[in-house]
Amino acid sequence: MPDSILVVDDEKDLVDLISYNLEKDGFTVLKAYDGEDALRLVRTRKPHLMILDLMLPGIQGMEVCKRIRNDTEHTALPIIMLTARGEEIDKVLGLEMGADDYITKPFSVRELLARVHTVLRRSTIQKEIEKKGIFAYKDLHIDYRSHAVTVKNKKIDLSPTEFKLLKFLALNPGRVYTRDQMLDHVWGDETFVETRTIDVHVKRLRAKIEENMARPQYVLTVRGFGYKFAYIE
């Protein structure tokens, strides 16, 4: 069965344009024109990915994204935010709400399709990693069950926090996370940690797994946003 994609936007002509090109590319398309209908379709039709506009009648796009991320059954649904608002703060907010990617209007259909394929591939990789419990990229190998990490077959001793940080990023290759998101996922609510502490831990982690600290190949900095693990083809 082809992957199904839910397109959510209150501009019918735009929804039709996106849907036409997605169907032409082999996807099955679901359509919604407001936030409430989008949430209903997520629950009933379980799409593989959602393209979500921010400015919607009724429930806004940010709130739709937040509710999905708080729903244990659908929290892993890949979401690409599509909006006319291109300010950096909106992109940061979108990422903090849990969006996997962000594209602004006007946009190239070719670019949107490329983003869709990228996010879907990333989602597939993540599921495979979680199922196998073993991750390998270039010279880095991680066994999530035994907490063993090697680089070029050399054992790397990581602190529990460094391992949790590496595990979190490597389970989501290519996805950008803000420092606040990393605090929530790695540290949770157990301790008070300032966001700048993230930079310290990333630096320590890089010192152990990267061959060249100035040009890291695993844990990458995304200027103005946060960090990500290198995208895996």
Give the position of tokens 């839910």. 6
Whole-angstrom Cα distance, residue 138 to residue 136?
7
Pick the last residue of a domain from 126, 145, 173.
126
Quick one: tokens of 205?
A: 């982690």
- Please identify every stretch of the chain with a pLDDT value under 50, giving residue numbers as ranges: none
The answer to the question of residue 110 being in a domain is yes
Same domain, 9 and 121: yes
Q: Is there a contact between 63 and 35 (Cβ–Cβ < 8 Å)?
A: yes
State residue 21 phi and psi, 5-degree precision. Answer: -70, -35
Same domain, 105 and 183: no
Same domain, 122 and 164: no
Same domain, 186 and 104: no
Same domain, 17 and 88: yes
The answer to the question of residue 133 being in a domain is no
The per-residue pLDDT for 190 is: 55
The per-residue pLDDT for 125 is: 75
The per-residue pLDDT for 11 is: 94
The answer to the question of residue 184 being in a domain is yes
Same domain, 111 and 11: yes
Q: Specify the number of domains making up the chain.
A: 2
The answer to the question of residue 145 being in a domain is no
The per-residue pLDDT for 86 is: 65
The per-residue pLDDT for 192 is: 63
- CATH number for the domain spanning 208: value is 1.10.10.10
- CATH number for the domain spanning 90: value is 3.40.50.2300
What does the DSSP assignment read for the chain?
-PPEEEEE-S-HHHHHHHHHHHHHTT-EEEEESSHHHHHHHHHHH--SEEEEESS-SSS-HHHHHHHHHT-TTTTT--EEEEES---HHHHHHHHHHT-SEEEESS--HHHHHHHHHHHHHHHHHHHHHHHH-EEEETTEEEETTTTEEEETTEE----HHHHHHHHHHHTSTT--EEHHHHIIIIITTSS---THHHHHHHHHHHHHH-S-TTS-SSEEEETTTEEEEPP--
The per-residue pLDDT for 87 is: 67
Same domain, 99 and 203: no
Quick one: tokens of 101?
A: 């990617």
The per-residue pLDDT for 217 is: 95
Same domain, 111 and 183: no
Same domain, 37 and 98: yes
Instruction: Give the residues across from 227 on adjacent strands.
Output: 177, 221
Closest among 221, 215, 218 to 229, alpha carbons compared: 218
Same domain, 12 and 106: yes
The answer to the question of residue 146 being in a domain is no
The answer to the question of residue 224 being in a domain is yes
- As a whole-number percent, the residues of the chain with pLDDT over 90 amount to 55
For the stretch 173-199, pLDDT in tens is 888 888 888 887 787 765 566 777 889
Peptide bond into 106 cis (omega under 30): yes
The per-residue pLDDT for 101 is: 86
The answer to the question of residue 55 being in a domain is yes
Closest among 172, 185, 52, 177 to 124, alpha carbons compared: 172
Closest among 143, 178, 186 to 161, alpha carbons compared: 186
For the stretch 55-87, pLDDT in tens is 899 999 999 998 998 887 888 899 999 887 666
Same domain, 110 and 187: no
Q: Global pTM?
A: 0.70
Pick the last residue of a domain from 76, 103, 126.
126
The domain of 91 spans: 4-126
The per-residue pLDDT for 88 is: 67
Pick the last residue of a domain from 77, 107, 126.
126
Strands 79-83 and 177-178: unpaired
Instruction: Give the residues across from 82 on adjacent strands.
Output: 53, 103
Same domain, 65 and 111: yes
C-alpha dihedral (216, 225, 53, 58), degrees to nearest 10: 140
The answer to the question of residue 148 being in a domain is no
